[in-house]
Every structure is written in C-alpha cells, then in structure tokens.
C-alpha cells in the first residue's frame, strides 16, 4: 500500500496499491512508523493539487526524529487515541 503524492496523478492524495507508476510514498517501512496510521482529512474534500498530501498521525521513531509534515506519537499514546476516536472526532493542532 502507498499514498500518492504525485500532483500529476488522478490519485493525488489518495491510498494506492503497488506497483504504481506515479510517485507515491510506501506505507510499509523498516522503521515501522506506519504500522498504525491515522489519515487526517487534510486536503481531501475537495483535493487541491499542490496543497499537500499524506498528512498522517503515525508512530514515532525511538529518537523522535522529525517527520515530513506528519504527527508522530508513541505507540502507547496511539492506542489511547484509537480507543477514543469516532467519525465525529476532530484533530486540532495549536
């Protein structure tokens, strides 16, 4: 699985399957940061090219190295969030 971040693709900012001929981020990494991800609704309705894609809440590395625009959290915190979210939940970054 992957996430298309190619602005020239009709699948821009959407989940895709590999093999995929356009540019896309793989959602399986040796670092295991994408073992659990929450997809934010950023730039999804409607999708606007060049506005950004693939903004997730995902697992942090052990050293909390920076992400490329996502939100990285500890596994224990991810489990707490998953138990509490529903379709009406909102992510507020302040």
What is the per-residue pLDDT across 36-75, written as a single tens digit (0 to 9) for each?
999 998 999 999 999 989 899 999 999 999 998 899 999 9
Q: Is the pLDDT of residue 89 over 90?
A: yes
Contacts of 63 (CB under 8 A, 6+ apart): none
For residue 67, tell me if it sits in a domain: yes
For residue 94, tell me if it sits in a domain: no
For residue 92, tell me if it sits in a domain: no
Q: Is the pLDDT of residue 94 over 80?
A: no
Cis peptide upstream of residue 46 (ω within 30 degrees of 0) = yes
Q: Which domain holds residue 41?
A: 1-86
Q: Give this prediction's pTM.
A: 0.86
- Hey, what are 81's tokens? 């969030």
- Hey, what are 57's tokens? 């809440």
For residue 93, tell me if it sits in a domain: no
**Which segments of 1-94 are extended strands (E)?**
2-4, 15-16, 24-26, 37-39, 56-59, 71-73
Report how far residue 61's alpha carbon sits from residue 43's, in angstroms, rounded to the nearest whole number: 26
For residue 28, tell me if it sits in a domain: yes
Domain count, the chain: 1
Of all residues in the chain, the percent with pLDDT exceeding 70 is: 100
For residue 91, tell me if it sits in a domain: no
């Amino acid at each position: 699985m992957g996430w298309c971040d190619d602005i020239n693709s009709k699948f821009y900012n959407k989940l895709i399957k590999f093999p995929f001929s356009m540019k896309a981020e793989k959602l399986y990494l040796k670092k295991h940061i994408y073992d659990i991800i929450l997809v934010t609704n950023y730039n999804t309705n409607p999708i606007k090219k060049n506005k950004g894609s693939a903004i997730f809440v995902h697992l942090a590395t052990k050293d909390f190295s920076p992400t490329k625009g996502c939100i990285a959290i500890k596994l224990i915190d991810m489990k707490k969030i998953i138990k509490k979210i529903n379709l009406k939940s909102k992510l507020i970054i302040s």
